[in-house]
Structure formats: structure tokens, C-alpha cells
């Protein structure tokens, strides 16, 4: 059996369909490029039959992203599979991923199908998918709540029909590590043609076990893990790519396995995703959280100074966390900026250096030392655009008997100007109200926080806003050296995310 674990990334499909993570076409393409640089083996680009936008995203990633296999998801019906095949047409390497639910609950209540009907449908789907590409993955949705004998029967039939990967997903995040191990072991020892396919797993994190369950599957012989960056995905999310990859790497002595991931790209890719979705990683999150490598206790610090391995199982550098002494400022040129962007792990060929350099110069006029965090913020700066732009804003903060007020000029989707003013409890509240009025949209503000993302009195502030609109959660973020401006830019970010999602839905 191979020592290589295939990393199947579903950030753009399972991740993107989760609440608050919707991405525009440009954002999906940018993320797909980052995933290719990260070295994932397969990019699941979307569900082609879901909507024309999803179709275009898959087709455009298939056309432009080289390196990884590009995969499209399809239910076991002719229309879905043909759309997937059509969307993947221009891919260098393509895979169609078909799925059908196999558990009794799903068969009886959702599909209203017998076991035999499920097998027949699975076989027909794999056969049709094979007419578009030799690389076909078959998934038994809710596999871990499926009768074991029936699971083995479906898997055998799918492989016989030509499936080259069989995926055993814990769709509802219900299983445990030993149960997962036993299931994969059972399939390996029971299904006669199992050697003709790669066993895969896809775990959800409802009980916080997605990574543990994926690793258990790997120990039992699975050689593909489906995962997402930052663990985003339906409900509590998916198996986190960075965690499963670093567990395999750090514990090579235990697993004896490897992945093709360029781990130094983990942090830049993870931060790009946060910037695109506007949802920020908790500080204590494994591998990628801000505190993941911070040692606060005196005993630990002393140990670290004597020998890093006393308390550090991974080097920060191995995931792309670097601290450099090169500080940029007003007099730094374009060349130094490009070097710094490269050093931070970004692919300078795919970044808009002109725009970043202009923003850099503007920031350098306001701020003496430009730090790594500042540069990252500049690179990510334009990740969320339109349809609304804030053209002008004036705020007065109230103190004593003055009332805080804000006046804004917004430019709308068709270039029309919208002017509004409002008063409020403080300048941020007033600005948010004025923006809502100008757009004619009312959102429910659930939270606003401002953190400094670089050091010093002239630090850049990063604002994060959480709002609810039409029963859904949305996140936005914005940066500026001025906290009111950072908050307003985060609010504009969230308004634009909502507008884009609404446009997509209608």
C-alpha cells in the first residue's frame, strides 16, 4: 500500500456552502490558486448542477488551475453527471465525484428507495461518469450509519462499475475513531475488489472528532482524506486540512506516511481564506491560531530558550509562520515590497502588485513602520469588492451634549449615488445606520470587535463584524489605522457579501 495520503480539498465545495462562507467567482479562483500552490492533490471545485454560478466556477477553475486534479460533485442522476462532465471539459486532470445516501434513515425518509434501487442507481451513475473521465469517485452518503454488509455491497458494486476512489463519509459527524477504524478495516478485508480503488474518508466535526476520525481511517488503510482549510464546512465544519497534514508530518514516526502538501504554505493559505470569507480563526486554534506557538508560562519559556523541542513539537517556520527583522517604511521601494510579499508566502505572479504598492505608499504616509501583518492586510485588501462602494464619509463623535452623527455617500451597483445621514450612540453606530439607510437594507448587528494587528501606537486596527440577515449569519472585516474607518470598512464588507449572496440566490 502507498505511503502517500491523497489530500482532497473541499474548501470550495463543502466549505463554501457553509453559512457565511459564500465566495464570488474571483475569490474562488484566487483560493484555488492558493490551494494549488499549497500542493493539494485534488480540488473539489463545486457542485456544477447547483446553479449557473457554480457551473461557471467549476469550469473556470478547470480551465485555469494546473497541477491538482479538478473535481466536480454530482448526485447520482444523469443531469448532474452531464453538467459535471461539461464543466470539467477543459481540465488538465479531472474527476467526477458521484454520491448517494446509503443509510436506512436516508434511504427510507429522503430517497424512499430500497437497497436494490440504491445499488442500481450507484452503478448507473459511476458508469455514466466513466464516459467523461477515468477518474471517478463514489461516495456513500451517511456511510457510518449504514448497515456494514450493505455498505460493503454498494462499495463492491461501485468499484466493479469503475469507481477508482470510494469515499466513506461520516456525513453527520457521528462516528468515533475506533468505529471508523473498524469500518475501514471491515471494508478492506471484506470487499473482494477493494484493491482496485483508493479508500477515502470525509469527516464532519459535530463532536470535535473530524481530524481524529480521519486519522483513524488512515491508520486502517484509507489513503485519501477529504478536508478543508481552517476546517470550514457544514455546521461544525470538516476535518481541518492543516491539522490532519501536520499530524501526519509531525508524527511520521507513528504513521509512517506522507502528503504532498508544502506545509510552509499553510499559514498564508489559511489567512487568505479568512480574509476572503471574513471569518476569523480563533486564537487558540491548532496549527493556525495566533497563540498556537505562543509560550506564556515562565517554565515553558525557560525550556524553550534552552532547547526549542522541550515544549515545541513543530517549528513555526514549517507552517509558514516567520518573524523577520526586515521592516518596511516610507522609503522602501517596490523591490523590497515584492521581496517581502514573497517571503510571506504569497505568489507574487498572481497578486496585483501595482494596487498593493499604491496602498502601501498610502499607508506609509500615515504609519512609520510597516509590519508583516500590515503587508498581509494590504495583500488581502481588495479581496472583497462590490457591488457597493463607500465614496465619502464624514463622522462626528459625540461627547458631553454633542450627538454623534455620520454622513455617507455610497455608489450602488449601477453607478447610482446614495446620500444619507444618521445620528447614533457613537460614530460607528451612526455610520452603520447611515449606510443601512443609503442602501435600504436593515441588518441585525450581532457583534463588533476591533483588534490591533500590528504593533505600536500607529498600529493597523482590524475590525470584525458579525450580522444576521434573512436568517443567515455573515461576517465582514476591514483594516485601517483609524478604528472607525476599520469598523465601517468591515461593515461595507459584510453588506457586500450579503448583496452578492442575494444576487446569487435570485
- Dihedral Cα 47, 227, 97, 118, nearest 10 deg: -100
How far apart are the C-alpha atoms of 199 and 177, rounded to whole Å?
16
Q: What is the CA radius of gyration of the chain?
A: 24
Asked whether the beta carbons of 37 and 64 are under 8 A apart, the reply is: no
How far apart are the C-alpha atoms of 106 and 116, rounded to whole Å?
14
> In terms of DSSP bridges, do strands 198-203 and 389-396 run parallel, antiparallel, or are they unpaired?
unpaired
Query: Helices marked H in 223-320 — which ranges?
Result: 241-250, 252-255, 266-277, 298-306
Site string for Zn ion, 52-71 (x = CB under 5 A): --------------------
Q: Which residues contact 212 (CB under 8 A, 6 or more apart)?
A: 177
Pick between residue 142 and residue 436 the one whose CB is nearest to Zn ion.
142
**204 annotated to a ligand binding site:** yes
Q: Which one of the spans 8-16, 24-32, 130-138, 419-427 is the region binding Zn ion (CB under 5 A)?
A: 8-16
> In terms of DSSP bridges, do strands 404-411 and 417-424 run parallel, antiparallel, or are they unpaired?
antiparallel
Q: How far is the CB of 10 from Zn ion (least distance, A)?
A: 7
Residue with cell 509512517: 256
Pick between residue 244 and residue 486 the one whose CB is nearest to Zn ion.
244
How far apart are the C-alpha atoms of 48 and 330, rounded to whole Å?
47
Pick between residue 13 and residue 340 the one whose CB is nearest to Zn ion.
13
Q: How far is the CB of 35 from Zn ion (least distance, A)?
A: 17
Q: Does 142 bind Zn ion (CB under 5 A)?
A: no
Q: Which one of the spans 9-17, 116-124, 140-148, 265-273 is the region binding Zn ion (CB under 5 A)?
A: 9-17
Q: How far is the CB of 61 from Zn ion (least distance, A)?
A: 19
Q: Which one of the spans 11-19, 71-79, 246-254, 469-477 is the region binding Zn ion (CB under 5 A)?
A: 11-19
**238 annotated to a ligand binding site:** yes
Q: How far is the CB of 389 from Zn ion (least distance, A)?
A: 36
What are residue 417's phi and psi, to 5 degrees?
Answer: -95, 135
Q: Does 156 bind Zn ion (CB under 5 A)?
A: no
Asked whether the beta carbons of 214 and 220 are under 8 A apart, the reply is: no
Asked whether the beta carbons of 118 and 126 are under 8 A apart, the reply is: no
Q: Which one of the spans 12-20, 338-346, 400-408, 478-486 is the region binding Zn ion (CB under 5 A)?
A: 12-20
Pick between residue 14 and residue 372 the one whose CB is nearest to Zn ion.
14
Pick between residue 14 and residue 493 the one whose CB is nearest to Zn ion.
14
How far apart are the C-alpha atoms of 254 and 366, rounded to whole Å?
51
Q: How far is the CB of 14 from Zn ion (least distance, A)?
A: 4
Look at residues 56, 41, 405 and name the one whose alpha carbon lies nearest to residue 225. Answer: 41
Q: How far is the CB of 238 from Zn ion (least distance, A)?
A: 6
Pick between residue 203 and residue 490 the one whose CB is nearest to Zn ion.
203
Residue with cell 492543516: 242
Q: How far is CA 410 from CA 192, 384, 432, 484, in A?
A: 65, 16, 12, 17
First vs last Cα of the chain: how many Å apart? Answer: 48
Pick between residue 162 and residue 233 the one whose CB is nearest to Zn ion.
233
Q: Which one of the spans 13-21, 92-100, 282-290, 376-384 is the region binding Zn ion (CB under 5 A)?
A: 13-21
Q: Which one of the spans 14-22, 211-219, 342-350, 466-474 is the region binding Zn ion (CB under 5 A)?
A: 14-22
216: enclosing H helix or E strand: helix 210-219
Q: How far is the CB of 449 from Zn ion (least distance, A)?
A: 29
Pick between residue 235 and residue 368 the one whose CB is nearest to Zn ion.
235
Asked whether the beta carbons of 168 and 200 are under 8 A apart, the reply is: yes
Q: How far is the CB of 475 from Zn ion (least distance, A)?
A: 21
Q: Which one of the spans 7-15, 70-78, 150-158, 185-193 is the region binding Zn ion (CB under 5 A)?
A: 7-15
Q: How far is the CB of 301 from Zn ion (least distance, A)?
A: 41
How far apart are the C-alpha atoms of 271 and 256, rounded to whole Å?
29
Residue with cell 448532474: 80
Q: Which one of the spans 10-18, 303-311, 397-405, 480-488 is the region binding Zn ion (CB under 5 A)?
A: 10-18
Q: Which residues contact 128 (CB under 8 A, 6 or more apart)?
A: 78, 81, 82
Q: Does 14 bind Zn ion (CB under 5 A)?
A: yes
Q: How far is the CB of 37 from Zn ion (least distance, A)?
A: 24
Pick between residue 17 and residue 423 the one whose CB is nearest to Zn ion.
17
Pick between residue 48 and residue 379 the one whose CB is nearest to Zn ion.
48
Number of residues that bind Zn ion (CB under 5 A): 1
Pick between residue 14 and residue 54 the one whose CB is nearest to Zn ion.
14
Q: Which residues contact 344 (CB under 8 A, 6 or more apart)?
A: 268, 322, 372, 375, 376, 379
Query: Helices marked H in 462-482 — which ranges?
Result: none
Residues 420-439 that bind Zn ion (CB under 5 A): none
Q: How far is the CB of 17 from Zn ion (least distance, A)?
A: 9
**493 annotated to a ligand binding site:** no
3-state SS assignment for residue 80: helix
Give the residue closest to Zn ion by C-beta: 14
Positions at the binding site for Mn(2+): 14, 202, 204, 238
Positions at the binding site: 14, 202, 204, 238
Residues found near Zn ion in the complex (CB under 5 A): 14
Amino acid at each position: 500500500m502507498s505511503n502517500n495520503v491523497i489530500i482532497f480539498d473541499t474548501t470550495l465545495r463543502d466549505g463554501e456552502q457553509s453559512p457565511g462562507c459564500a465566495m464570488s467567482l474571483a475569490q474562488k479562483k484566487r483560493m484555488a490558486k492558493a490551494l494549488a500552490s499549497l500542493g493539494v492533490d485534488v480540488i473539489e471545485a463545486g457542485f456544477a448542477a447547483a446553479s449557473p454560478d457554480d457551473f461557471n466556477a467549476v469550469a473556470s477553475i478547470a480551465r485555469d488551475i494546473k497541477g491538482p486534479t479538478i473535481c466536480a460533485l454530482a448526485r447520482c442522476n444523469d443531469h448532474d453527471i452531464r453538467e459535471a462532465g461539461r464543466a470539467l471539459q477543459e481540465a488538465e486532470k479531472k474527476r467526477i465525484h458521484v454520491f448517494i445516501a446509503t443509510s436506512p434513515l436516508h434511504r427510507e425518509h429522503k430517497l424512499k428507495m430500497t437497497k436494490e434501487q440504491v445499488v442500481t442507481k450507484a452503478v448507473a451513475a459511476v458508469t455514466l461518469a466513466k464516459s467523461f473521465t477515468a477518474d471517478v469517485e463514489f461516495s456513500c452518503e451517511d456511510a457510518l450509519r449504514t448497515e456494514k454488509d450493505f455498505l460493503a455491497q454498494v462499495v463492491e458494486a461501485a468499484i466493479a462499475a469503475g469507481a477508482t476512489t470510494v469515499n466513506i463519509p461520516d456525513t453527520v459527524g457521528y462516528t468515533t475513531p475506533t468505529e471508523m477504524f473498524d469500518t475501514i478495516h471491515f471494508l478492506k478485508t471484506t470487499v473482494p475488489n477493494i484493491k482496485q480503488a483508493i479508500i477515502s474518508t470525509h469527516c464532519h466535526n459535530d463532536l470535535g472528532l473530524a481530524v481524529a476520525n480521519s486519522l483513524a481511517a488512515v491508520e486502517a488503510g484509507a489513503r485519501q482524506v477529504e478536508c478543508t482549510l481552517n476546517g470550514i464546512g457544514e455546521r461544525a465544519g470538516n476535518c481541518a486540512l492543516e491539522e490532519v497534514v501536520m499530524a501526519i508530518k509531525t508524527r511520521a514516526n507513528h504513521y509512517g506516511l506522507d502528503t504532498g502538501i508544502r506545509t510552509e504554505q499553510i499559514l498564508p493559505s489559511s489567512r487568505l481564506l479568512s480574509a476572503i470569507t471574513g471569518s476569523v480563526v480563533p486564537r487558540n486554534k491548532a496549527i493556525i491560531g495566533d497563540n498556537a506557538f505562543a509560550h506564556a508560562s515562565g517554565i515553558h519559556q525557560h525550556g524553550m530558550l534552552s532547547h526549542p523541542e522541550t515544549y515545541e513539537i513543530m517549528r513555526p517556520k514549517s507552517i509558514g509562520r516567520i518573524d523577520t527583522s526586515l521592516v518596511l517604511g516610507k522609503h522602501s521601494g517596490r523591490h523590497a515590497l515584492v521581496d517581502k510579499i514573497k517571503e510571506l508566502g504569497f505568489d507574487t505572479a498572481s497578486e496585483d502588485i501595482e494596487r498593493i504598492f499604491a496602498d502601501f505608499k498610502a499607508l506609509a504616509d500615515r504609519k512609520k513602520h510597516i509590519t508583516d501583518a500590515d503587508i498581509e492586510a494590504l495583500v488581502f485588501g481588495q479581496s472583497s469588492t462590490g457591488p457597493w462602494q463607500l465614496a465619502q464619509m464624514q463622522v462626528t463623535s459625540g461627547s458631553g451634549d454633542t450627538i454623534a452623527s455620520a454622513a455617507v455617500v455610497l455608489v450602488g451597483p449601477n453607478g447610482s449615488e446614495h446620500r444619507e445621514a444618521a445620528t447614533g450612540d457613537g460614530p460607528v453606530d451612526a455610520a452603520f445606520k447611515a449606510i443601512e439607510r443609503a442602501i435600504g437594507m436593515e441588518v441585525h448587528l450581532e457583534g463588533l470587535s476591533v483588534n490591533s494587528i500590528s504593533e505600536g501606537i500607529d498600529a493597523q486596527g482590524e475590525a470584525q463584524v458579525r450580522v444576521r440577515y434573512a436568517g443567515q449569519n455573515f461576517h465582514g472585516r476591514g483594516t485601517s489605522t483609524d478604528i472607525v474607518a476599520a469598523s465601517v470598512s468591515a461593515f461595507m464588507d459584510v453588506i457586500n457579501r450579503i448583496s452578492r449572496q442575494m444576487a446569487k440566490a435570485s
